[in-house]
Amino acid sequence: MTLKINSGLLQQLQQRAGITDLQELDAALEALQAAAPDGAAGRLAAALPDLLEHLSRNAELREQELQLTEALFETIPIPIYIKDRNARYLRFNRAFETLSGIDRKQWLGRNAYEVMSDEDARLHDELDRQLLRDGGTQDFECRLQYGSDGLTAQIRKVALRDSEQRIIGLIGTIFDITPRKQAEEAMRQAKEAAEAANRAKSNFLANMSHEIRTPMNGILGMTELALDTDLNEEQREYLQLVQTSADSLLAIINDILDFSKIEAGKLLIESIEFDVHRTVTDAVKSIALKACEKKLELICDIDADVPRFLQGDPGRLRQVVLNLIGNAIKFTPAGEIGLKLATTTGNAGERLLQFEVRDTGIGIPADKLGRIFDAFAQEDSSTTRRFGGTGLGLSICRRLVQAMGGSISVDSTQGTGSCFRFTLPLHPAADAHPQAGQASGTPLAGLRVLVVDDHPTNRTILQKTLADIGATSRGVECGDAAISALQAAAGAGAPFDVALLDASMPGEDGFGLAGRILAQAGIPSPVLVLLSSVGLKGDAARCREIGIDGYLTRPATRDEIHQVLEQILAKATSPALSATLVTRHALAEGSPGMLRVLLAEDHPVNQKLVIGLLEKLGHRVSIAANGLEALHLLEAPGQRHDLILMDMQMPDMDGLACTQEIRRRGITTPIIALTANAQESDRRICLDAGMDDFLPKPIQARALRDMLRRHAGAAALPAGIHETFDYVKALREADQEIIALIGMQLLAQLPEDLRKLRAALAAQDSQAVLRHAHALRGLVGVMGADPVAKLLANIEEQARQACLDGLEIDLDALEQELSSFGQALASTAG
């Protein structure tokens, strides 16, 4: 529509509607005409005042919207700026002025290069032009410098478009995030400070552990050596007090170190394959002396369905067991303490190991049970004064059990006793292993055993163990009942084959009963095995004097009972070898034979201590003051070492570097770390370096002896000797004519051949050793006795090199193999 209006009408439109643009009026009239299609000019003219009124109201609304937008733009606390298509500043709000400290007039119409440093301008101009080209949004953090003050900002920008979606500029906001960044930096610094403090604490604990354990090593070790010398009663009492006090101090130190590691989150849990039966029984044996000193009965009962080999952390498990049993001994004035290991089922149907430590002690008041596992939560201060300790033991137990994925609880009645119970996930070992009592081929089915023990629980456990290995048994409570049972069985024509005797029965002990049994006329003497709660010095000699055949310390595992009975029965069925087997009993004070040990240790006190302990156990020692000397001794001509004890901190070359170099040179001799750093991380470092085991200081005789036993077999025997060998099968596959011709003659001369070898070795006559070993190897070789032949070949090689040190171990191993071979030969050739 084209309108012709006079100047008066246009003026009226300007005054009433604010319309100055005829095109705008033309569009409005077209809309009005569309509503009145008859197009009557009169009606249109009549409607014009209403149209003008409507246009006027719309103009006022637009003005109000603009004013509101302007007010919001200026008063919003977020700094806002607008740029045009050329990235020049068009608008700012007051918040932007306040933030930047500038007058907006100074920046209007300017670009970034005109108001910023070149480096900052380059960043912002590049981003602006990218946004103006591509559209979209931008969100980034940067550093802004306004005047002398800087700030960290988060900038968000969006492209502005017109009604036809053409980019005409951009609008941006600035958020000052300096306080947030400062808070984050403060938190980072605080975290680093805390980590540094934690590292300092860990280093302090490690250093303190080393510094405390080094003198403790001398105190405990030398005291133990002194107690084995001739002392009067007063001197012995003083030294025993020193030993008890030092043991208590060491226990406190260990508790504090463990608790500190747990609190610092440094507790490491292993997952390795181990023999849970052996771990538990060894732990009980190690603490049996404390129970014996208080005249407490210490019982260990492992159900037959508990697998022997599991995946887990044997060290931490041993620690929990020892803590709980030690706690029970402390709070039990009389009676018994029992450890039971069984399997159970969890809430989700999973198999669990369940340990119970039950005592007949003083019990725990009901109101104290809820916090018994809290740190420093002994019943009250008088408990600490009366019984000693740090109050950390049970708290450490709970943390260790939880770290291994289990739970722990307690039931107790004051005045009656307590039962601590913990469960752990049962993770069977990946590889198949023989179960207890199945490691050997000698059948024990039908073996008749008399169990003599005054304690009913011990009798029950022993009889259950005997049933597990195929034997039948009867239990009696005293010597008189034992004699009656032996007489009755003999009279019925079914005498007992074996009698297991408790060493510490009231009235008549096991030694006295053994002598009485052997003196009985008309009764076939059974094999006699003594069971002692703790192996005491001199027990072995008493056994030999009386004629006792075997000696075991409680708790005796199924394997131990099976093996000692098997060895004794082998002696009985091979009379020609009986004289050589007198020392082959499982005596607790026995050693693995003489070892040639290289000790790498720089501290004179520690050298003297370890030498004393090793020589007391019958071993020979070479000394190296550092790693370089150790390497020299290992490769010296004619030198042979069965085991290396390696201190970790030595001058010139420390234990880790020395071990790595030993392994690099292909030397496979077992290496045991000696260190006062007793944390799990230190053990890991030792093993990763190539060491075979870890013995923390202070070194005690029992721990050292157990460590040597553990590794002596690997040191003493050539590869391939350790596995059980079926001599009966080998003899059946050998030349039967040769066996028939010389078998019985060889069987009769084996003890003499072994005696000649030992005599030649004692005389250091390498040619005689070589001659006797070679002759015997030829005879056993044709009969398929490969393990015996391998041992003899190894002895020949050592004799050929005139290196006889350590051959006592080979002869001990040879004696054991000859026992098995002789038994098989007797049954085959006879």
DSSP letters along 67-82, please?
HHHHHHHHH-SS-EEE
The residues, ordered by sequence, that sit 6+ positions from 324 with a Cβ below 8 Å of its Cβ are 355, 357, 397, 420, 422
Distance, CA of 457 to CA of 70 (rounded, Å): 95
Q: 658 with 642: CB under 8 angstroms?
A: no
pLDDT value of residue 556: 80
Rounded to 10 degrees, what is the CA torsion of 301, 306, 311, 315? 0
Distance, CA of 818 to CA of 567 (rounded, Å): 12
Mutual orientation of helices 558-573 and 807-829 as an angle, nearest 10°?
60
Pick left, alpha or beta for residue 169 (phi over 0 → left; psi -120 to 50 → alpha; otherwise beta). left
Give CA angle at 237 (232, 242), nearest 5°.
Answer: 125
In order along the chain (830 residues), what is the average pLDDT of each group of 10 residues?
A: 46 52 58 54 57 66 78 86 91 86 82 84 91 92 76 91 90 90 91 83 68 76 79 81 78 74 73 87 82 87 89 88 91 92 88 94 87 66 51 86 93 92 88 48 74 91 88 93 93 92 89 91 85 71 82 80 75 46 34 74 84 79 91 80 89 92 89 76 81 82 78 47 63 75 80 86 85 81 80 80 71 80 76
Pick left, alpha or beta for residue 140 (phi over 0 → left; psi -120 to 50 → alpha; otherwise beta). beta
Phi and psi torsions of 231, nearest 5°? -130, 155
Which CATH number is correct for 76-176, 3.30.450.20, 3.40.50.720, 3.40.50.360, 3.90.1530.30? Answer: 3.30.450.20
Q: Where are the beta strands (DSSP E) in 42-180?
A: 80-84, 89-92, 137-146, 149-161, 167-176
Phi and psi torsions of 11, nearest 5°? -65, -40
Distance, CA of 522 to CA of 264 (rounded, Å): 70
Q: DSSP string covering 485-532, please? A: HHHHHHHTT---SEEEEETT-SSS-HHHHHHHHHH-TTSPPPEEEEEE
Q: 642 with 712: CB under 8 angstroms?
A: yes
- Element holding 192 (H helix, E strand): helix 178-227
Phi and psi torsions of 139, nearest 5°? -145, 115
* 555 preceded by a cis bond (ω within 30 of 0): yes
Q: Which of 768, 772, 758, 767 is nearest to 811 (CA)?
A: 758
Q: Does domain 596-716 have CATH number 3.40.50.2000?
A: no
Handedness of CA 617, 620, 624, 625 (dihedral sign): positive
- How many residues are given for the chain? 830
Assigned CATH topology for domain 448-462+469-584: Rossmann fold (3.40.50)
pLDDT value of residue 678: 58
Q: 363 with 412: CB under 8 angstroms?
A: yes
Give CA angle at 804 (803, 805), nearest 5°.
Answer: 100
Q: Which of 298, 365, 286 is nearest to 329 (CA)?
A: 298
Indicate the burial class of 667 (C-beta count within 10 angstroms; 0-12, 13-18, 19 or more): middle
- Element holding 260 (H helix, E strand): helix 233-263
Q: Please state, as a whole number, how many other Cβ atoms lie within 10 Å of the Cβ of residue 384.
A: 14
Strand 620-624: give its sheet, edge to edge. Answer: 620-624, 596-600, 643-647, 671-675, 693-696
Beta-bridged to residue 472, according to DSSP, are 448
Distance, CA of 342 to CA of 357 (rounded, Å): 12
Please check whether the two domains, 76-176 and 448-462+469-584, share a CATH topology: no
Distance, CA of 472 to CA of 800 (rounded, Å): 51
Pick left, alpha or beta for residue 497 (phi over 0 → left; psi -120 to 50 → alpha; otherwise beta). alpha
CA-only gyration radius of the chain, Å: 45
Q: Please state, as a whole number, how many other Cβ atoms lie within 10 Å of the Cβ of residue 640.
A: 16
Q: Which of 465, 451, 438 is nearest to 529 (CA)?
A: 451
Tokens read off for 303: 């159900």
Phi and psi torsions of 285, nearest 5°? -60, -40
Phi and psi torsions of 67, nearest 5°? -65, -40
CATH number for the domain formed by residue range(s) 727-829: 1.20.120
Give CA angle at 206 (203, 207), nearest 5°.
Answer: 85
* pTM of the entire predicted model: 0.53
Distance, CA of 421 to CA of 411 (rounded, Å): 8
Distance, CA of 284 to CA of 264 (rounded, Å): 30
Domain ranges of the chain: 7-74, 76-176, 272-425, 448-462+469-584, 596-716, 727-829
Phi and psi torsions of 286, nearest 5°? -65, -20
pLDDT value of residue 2: 43
Phi and psi torsions of 181, nearest 5°? -65, -35
Q: Which of 69, 113, 70 is nearest to 88 (CA)?
A: 113
Pick left, alpha or beta for residue 637 (phi over 0 → left; psi -120 to 50 → alpha; otherwise beta). beta
Give CA angle at 525 (519, 530), nearest 5°.
Answer: 90
From residue 544, alpha-carbon distances to 174, 532, 550, 641 in Å are 95, 15, 9, 32
Phi and psi torsions of 474, nearest 5°? -135, 140
pLDDT value of residue 480: 93
Q: DSSP string covering 112-130, please? A: HHHHS-HHHHHHHHHHHHH
Structure letter (DSSP) for residue 428: B
Tokens read off for 318: 């041993």
Rounded to 10 degrees, what is the CA torsion of 258, 263, 264, 268? 50
Assigned CATH topology for domain 272-425: Heat Shock Protein 90 (3.30.565)
Tokens read off for 559: 């394997």
Q: 721 with 796: CB under 8 angstroms?
A: no
Q: 184 with 652: CB under 8 angstroms?
A: no
Q: Which of 333, 351, 327, 491 is nearest to 410 (CA)?
A: 327
